[in-house]
Amino acid sequence: MTINTQLTNEEKIAIDELRKRVGNELNSELCDDTNMFYRFLKARDFHIDQAEDMLRKHIQWRKDNSVDTILQDYVEHEALSKYFPGNLIGFDKENCPVKYFAFGNLDAK
């Protein structure tokens, strides 16, 4: 869902102000996400200071939990690969992962 065409001028100004305040702490993908800024502003009734505080806490949570690098840094736990046989075999036309699960080899004990 895109909200860009439905925004009032006041909402656009608030989004731009919030983006200016925290944009240097976000990666480019999130910084370009107008919907994200709108959601944080709407959650705080368009009080920019409160939305900024909420967004900064969200950014810190993302950093603390390595959300932005989880796909690059993920290491599969040994027990998972041993007891749950599944292999990534590629991606479909929409770039969704395709996995093969050999449930016949599953050790369910």
Mean pLDDT per 10-residue interval, the chain, length 109 residues = 75 94 88 92 96 96 90 78 76 89 71
- 92 lies in the same domain as 58: no
- 91 in the same domain as 59: no
Q: At 97, which helix (H) or strand (E)?
A: strand 97-101
How much is the pLDDT for 4?
59
- Residue 1, pLDDT score: 45
- On whether residue 31 sits in a domain, the answer given is yes
What does the alpha-carbon distance between residue 26 and residue 32 come to, in Å, rounded to a whole number?
9
Question: Do residue 33 and residue 19 come from a single domain?
Answer: yes
Predicted pLDDT of residue 2: 58
Together in a domain, 44 and 54: yes
Same domain, 62 and 44: yes
Q: What is the domain range of residue 98?
A: 73-105
> What whole-number distance in Å separates Cα of residue 74 and Cα of residue 99?
17
Whether 53 and 79 share a structural domain = no
